[in-house]
Amino acid sequence: MAALGLPAEGRELAGQVALVTGGAKNIGRAISLAFAAAGAAVAINTLQSREDAEAVAKEIRAAGGDAEIFLADISDADAVRAMGEGVMKRFGKIDILVLNASQRKEILFKDMTFEEWRNTMSITLDGSFHCIKACLPSMLANRRGNIITIGGDAVLQGGNRKAHNTTAKNGLVGLTRALAKELAADGIRVNCVSPGSINTTRPAHRSIRTDANITIPLGRRGESEEIAAVVRFLCGPGGGFITGQTLHVSGGDFMFA
């Protein structure tokens, strides 16, 4: 698995099955590859990025791993139900769920339509509900599981042109804490990883960031692989006593007591 950029040893997730929503690009791609490097079979969910998803699956298989693509709109309950059934049929179980898919369009609140507001909520919050409901029966049956939500530092700091996304991500933090308490007795851990400023491929509608305005204490933006490494750790034995937490991976850009 060295071809994935992570050590071949330490396959701590061998035998496990991970479903990654939005798993074809940027942070989702890095998480899919990190899980494969750790020995997990990976179900890569995407809606529009099939070509990118196929590239990720091909890379995983070329390195000796197992991966399958599942096309589904996670805001659609029926589509998610079918996806869950498809993952179960293909792999037999679901041990890990990473809720990475979200709507990241930036727009001033005064210009935002209710449709744009609801679209973000339907993907980030409703989509999380549907995906967890689809994966939970397998985790409960095996009395083991990990659910990782992907937040963002704007959750606590606010975000210009991101009122919809910030609100939805705050909802994810609440969901993380509530389910962590509710599911702990069933052997299921739930945590949130909150990325700071990360180098990703950005669509045209996103605001432009320049190196000149970097104020991160570590002096640089993070990489998708650094987020993936934290997600991998949380799902492995090293994270076995961690649940209900939000881990900020931001180079010190956000600190709290």
Average pLDDT score, the chain: 91
- Name the percent of the chain lying above pLDDT 70: 91
pLDDT band at 246 (very low <50, low <70, confident <90, very high): very high
Alpha-carbon dihedral angle through residues 215, 217, 218, 224, given to the nearest 10 degrees: -60
Q: Which residue has the higher pLDDT, 201 or 230?
A: 230
pLDDT band at 2 (very low <50, low <70, confident <90, very high): very low
Q: What is the DSSP letter of 124?
A: I
Show the beta-strand stretches assigned E in 101-142: none
pLDDT of residue 143: 98
Q: Which residue has the higher pLDDT, 256 or 49?
A: 49
Beta-carbon-side half-sphere exposure of residue 159 (alpha carbons within 13 Å) = 24
Residue 155 reports pLDDT greater than 90: no
**Domain extents for the chain?**
13-197+209-249
Q: For the segment 87-119, what is each residue's pLDDT rounded down to a tens digit? A: 999 999 999 999 999 887 899 999 999 999 999
pLDDT of residue 99: 98
Q: For the segment 180-215, what is each residue's pLDDT rounded down to a tens digit? A: 999 999 999 999 999 989 998 765 444 445 554 578
pTM for this prediction? 0.92
Stretch 222-232: mean pLDDT: 96
Q: In CATH, what class is 13-197+209-249? A: alpha beta
Quickly tell me which residue has 């339509």 as its tokens: 113
pLDDT of residue 252: 87
pLDDT of residue 193: 97
Radius of gyration of the chain measured on its C-alpha atoms: 17
- Name the percent of the chain lying above pLDDT 90: 79
Query: For residue 186, which amino acid is it?
Result: D
Among the listed residues 160, 52, 155, 44, the one whose alpha carbon sits nearest the alpha carbon of residue 107: 160
Beta-carbon-side half-sphere exposure of residue 129 (alpha carbons within 13 Å) = 12
State how far the Cα of 189 lies from the Cα of 166, in Å rounded to an integer.
24
Q: Which residue has the higher pLDDT, 214 or 247?
A: 247
pLDDT of residue 156: 72
Do 220 and 214 form a contact (C-beta atoms < 8 A)?
yes
